[in-house]
Structure 1
Amino acid sequence: MSAVETLVARLGAGDSSARLRSAMTVGDQPGLVEALLERCAVEPDFFVRDMLTWALIQQPAEVTVPKVLAELQSDRVQARSQALHTLSKIGSPATWSAITPELLRDPDDEVARTAWRAAAVLAPQDKREWLAGELVTQFGRGDRMVQLSLSRALVALGELIGPVLEPALASKDAGVRAHARATDLLLRDPDAAFAADVDAARRIDNLGPEKLAAAEAHKEAQAAC
């Protein structure tokens, strides 16, 4: 067995700690991009996957980037997700156009979440408003963590998302309205707890701002008695 074959075999060791150590040692070894990407597509351990990404970005970009881009077309969910994550870490603006609307709306939540994060990192200034318009079409999707990922990606685009939020804030879908309002609150206060923001958004949506203010004033008056 050659030295390269030995390294590749160790990436698939049965023990996750051994796989992690192997991934840490192969970053400066040439000719392993395909093996690293193959392992990314199947590796079950989050920390090992992150180290595999680190190893990939140590490889020459002219070799790595085209092969990472090809993984975006994979039928394997994890291959697409890890490729997007790797692109966000490489950070090359030239890869922006590979994050298509299809990836931003991928039916798999993990792929979509990774696409949102990567797009927010890579989008050039003149495409950020377009990206915001794409992202808001996903309001109301998924569980709390999926929704938080979407909101964080939007907030990362900055104040320009304000006008883009307006149609969602007036949506007939209560879930979309609450998610949009929570995103608006997060934009105003990035340190706010998202769960509290969603709860507040739903209360505002159900009561209306004036009734909510009256209810809060009534609670304060009762507490003072």
Structure 2
Amino acid sequence: MPKGLQIIGFDADDTLWQNESFFRLTQERFAELLADYTDRDHLHTRLLEAERRNLGQYGFGIKGFMLSMIETAIEVTDQTVPASVIAELLAAGQDMLAHPVHLLPHAQEAVRSLAETHKLVLITKGDLLDQERKLAQSGLGAFFDGVEIVSHKTTATYQSAFTKYGDGPEYAMMIGNSLKSDVIPALEAGAWGIYIPHGLTWELEHAETPTGHSRYRELPDLGEVVTLLQAAGL
């Protein structure tokens, strides 16, 4: 580990608080509502196709998910989906947008401890209003020196954020549950990438593990981040 680590970036959803589990519950309800029209596996495939197709227009987050479910429902029913089903899908999405924030184990302790020694930056993608709401409800907002809510996480995203809040990616670390969005582009930018797997990961966030990269680490939970940095004297 290099000396002079200045900035620690954190992902939000499924790194600091639960997120994907609520999507999975809604997808189960979606399958139940459309059980008379198609089987669960086919519906899942069609929904994933719609989500991938719509990312450029709707971005990441609950609202895009809702619209993709509605689009998929129209498609698999040959445009005969009942209005009552559409209404239930909208209600399910609204419930997701109002759901209380559930912090993941060690999130509060890790953020509080690391904020005493490093600059912390929240780097998350998704709907602006929803991410702001979750950060406010999490009770973690005061520990972050900056918040970047972006449409996509790319190498340029991390180069920009880590230069904005410090001396660049060389002196930065990104922590998250997505290899594709949190770890690999951060490594490509020159930062450290710390992967903390979550039990549930959206299929569109899957990527090959960057095994062998000198700045890559995989840890079981956020509590181990503090231990890692303390052991390295950072």
TM exceeding 0.5? no
Pair member with larger Rg: 1
Bigger proportion of residues as helix: 1
Task: State the TM-score, normalized to the length of structure 1.
Answer: 0.28
Bigger proportion of residues as strand: 2
Task: State the TM-score, normalized to the length of structure 2.
Answer: 0.27
